[in-house]
Amino acid sequence: MRWLLVSVALAAAGVCHAGWPEPRPIDAGRLAAAGLRVVEAEQATLVTDAPPSAETDRLPGLIALAAPRWAERFGVARSAAKKWRLRVYLIEDEARFRALGLWPDQSPDFQHGLSLGYEVWVRQQESDYYRRHLLLHEATHSFMATRLGSCGPGWYMEAMAELCGTHQYNEATGELRIASPPETREAAPDWGRVRLVRDAVASGRLLSVDAVRKIDNRRLLATEEYAWVWALASFLDGHPAYRERFARLPGWVNEPDFDSRFDRLYQRDRRRLEQEWRLYAATLCYGHDLPREAIDFRQGEPLAADGSAAATIAADRGWQSSGVAVEAGEPVQITAEGRYVIAHEPDGAPWPCEPGGVTLAYHAGRPLGELLATVDAGPGAFVDAAPVGRSAAYTAPASGTLYLRVNDAANALAENEGSLSAALRRGGGPAGRGARQSRVDR
């Protein structure tokens, strides 16, 4: 998946990429004698030593299906995208390609795939999904390099290729959707990006947005680094608050200050973006529901000295503002009631739930549906939740707005129904212990 070192260096020096050479000439007779086949499709030519199969032979056809999607995303005229053609080498035995002069002269030691202008090389894979992913990944580099003139900085280049590599292909209808994350693990054998991010987070390596943007593809990247750039792209592309701005980035790939423009673009809500990004990375799963997990940011008002407040918390949404600002170390008594649906049986029967949660199922080590609390202070605010249940004194570790939600997976909110009511009042526990962690006294 590495690109050519030289072309990345040229991009940095501002040299235009429009002058990519045509794919090298091929001699069908010589290829056949060496055991290679040529499969022609509308917008791509496949050269391969893989035996004929329906899956292999439809690979070049995917390019014509993806081209209008790339055109839309990258602001390229449909007509120009329709004329675009790609050469694809699918490789089982590298020696055959080398002997025929079909190997890239520069950067000959790629791991899975390589893109050089109008040619891409993809090594054979066990899984149909992952083979298509790699082809779409490399082809995205090619489309950007030849149609936009650049792929932008390394992290963005790989992020877009990883994003457009995720796809849903319907064999029966021949429909292809790109930039569409797999809904289940079974739908994407060998892809594994979700697992890599989850494992990294579990080992205490949750990368900030800036850390992901420092991933530099001028060296060979580890698969985990591809997973991180994919996750960031999929977050920015799927989150209702950030996706419109993300869609503007392709217009800047030739700008040397691309990253400063990115910073300015997200300056006004960068703190929230970072908080939501960390929450996303920490709860990443197949079928992650970004629109429902999107935080309803609303700054809270302090409670009066003897005051109280009430909040309604929907069961089918992520973190929601309570409307109340709390002070570090000063407990707030939260009492919740209500009956809502937290899941369904396979036969459709609903699972009723109250703020204490159900004991039949757990999520993240706590009862499913249990009321949780946090305060919007610090980058990891929404990752560090405290259980509340029916009633508890919540002591915030830092001053900020109190947020509430029910405990559920980020891919399981859509099946929930109803809401709970939370009553908040000042006091309820021993104040002023100055705990670093949020504290709950039942």
Least CB distance to Zn ion at residue 237 (A):
17
Least CB distance to Zn ion at residue 94 (A):
19
Least CB distance to Zn ion at residue 74 (A):
16
Taking contact as CB under 5 A, which single stretch among the options 1-9, 86-94, 227-235, 262-270 is the one that binds Zn ion?
1-9
* Nearer Cβ to Zn ion (2/85): 2
Taking contact as CB under 5 A, which single stretch among the options 157-165, 173-181, 202-210, 253-261 is the one that binds Zn ion?
157-165
* Nearer Cβ to Zn ion (158/289): 158
Angle at 134 between CA 129 and CA 136, to 5 degrees: 95
Cα separation, 228 vs 412, whole angstroms: 23
* Nearer Cβ to Zn ion (144/161): 161
Taking contact as CB under 5 A, which single stretch among the options 19-27, 90-98, 161-169, 388-396 is the one that binds Zn ion?
161-169
Site membership for Zn ion, residue 1 (CB under 5 A): yes
* Nearer Cβ to Zn ion (161/311): 161
Taking contact as CB under 5 A, which single stretch among the options 7-15, 156-164, 296-304, 411-419 is the one that binds Zn ion?
156-164
* Nearer Cβ to Zn ion (162/274): 162
Taking contact as CB under 5 A, which single stretch among the options 155-163, 190-198, 201-209, 315-323 is the one that binds Zn ion?
155-163
* Nearer Cβ to Zn ion (148/303): 148
* Nearer Cβ to Zn ion (114/371): 114
Give the residue nearest to Zn ion (CB).
1
State the number of binding residues for Zn ion (CB under 5 A).
3
Least CB distance to Zn ion at residue 35 (A):
28
Site membership for Zn ion, residue 39 (CB under 5 A): no
* Nearer Cβ to Zn ion (158/370): 158
Cα separation, 380 vs 194, whole angstroms: 20
Angle at 1 between CA 119 and CA 104, to 5 degrees: 40
Which residue in 71, 76, 161, 334 binds Zn ion (CB under 5 A)?
A: 161
Site membership for Zn ion, residue 59 (CB under 5 A): no
- Do the beta carbons of residue 250 and residue 73 sit within 8 Å? yes
* Nearer Cβ to Zn ion (158/276): 158
Length of the chain: 442
* Nearer Cβ to Zn ion (158/225): 158
Gyration radius (Cα) of the chain, Å:
26
Site membership for Zn ion, residue 145 (CB under 5 A): no
Cα separation, 261 vs 244, whole angstroms: 15
Least CB distance to Zn ion at residue 151 (A):
9
Cα separation, 21 vs 41, whole angstroms: 20
Least CB distance to Zn ion at residue 238 (A):
21
Give the alpha-carbon dihedral of 161, 12, 112, 109, to 10 degrees. 170
Least CB distance to Zn ion at residue 229 (A):
9
Least CB distance to Zn ion at residue 346 (A):
41
Least CB distance to Zn ion at residue 162 (A):
8
Least CB distance to Zn ion at residue 114 (A):
8
Query: Which parts of this chain interact with Zn ion (CB under 5 A)?
Result: 1, 158, 161
